[in-house]
Amino acid sequence: MPKALWKDTVVAQSEETVVVEGNHYFPPGSIVQEFFRPTDTQTVCPWKGTAGYYTLTVDGRQNTDAAWTYPEPKEAAENIRGHYAFWKGVTISD
């Protein structure tokens, strides 16, 4: 089952991730909410829409903007609505 790990801590886990452009997108119910804090960062993808970012905090250590989600994606990316993907040292294991 795919897991997102940061600092040896599982921050998300699901058998139902969606892989888009090489990134595993985890369903909203699969993340460990206590580790996620929204930031003001946004980026725009021409076909997915506007992404919002989250800082991960684990054991007092922060990983700024390490997770992102498309809360209101464009039609072409509807399958990842509200799902979370990761970068900045967050590893995905199967």
Q: Using alpha carbons only, give the angle 78, 83, 80 rounded to the nearest 5 degrees.
A: 20
Residue range 66-73: average pLDDT?
98
Domain count of the fold of the chain: 1
Neighbour-count burial for 19-58, b at 16+ CB within 10 Å, e otherwise: ebeebbbbbeebbeeebbeeeeeeeebeebbebbbbbbbb
Residue 13 and residue 32: Cα distance in Å, rounded? 9
DSSP annotation of 75 reads: G
pTM across the whole model = 0.96
Residue 60 and residue 21: Cα distance in Å, rounded? 31
| Among 30, 41, 36, 24, residue whose Cα is nearest residue 86 | 24
- CATH number where 69 lies: 2.170.150.40
pLDDT tens, residue by residue, 36-67:
999 999 999 999 999 999 999 999 999 999 99
Q: Domain range spanning residue 18? A: 3-93
Per-residue confidence (pLDDT) for residue 1, from 0 to 100: 93
Per-residue confidence (pLDDT) for residue 79, from 0 to 100: 97
Amino acid, res. 67? A
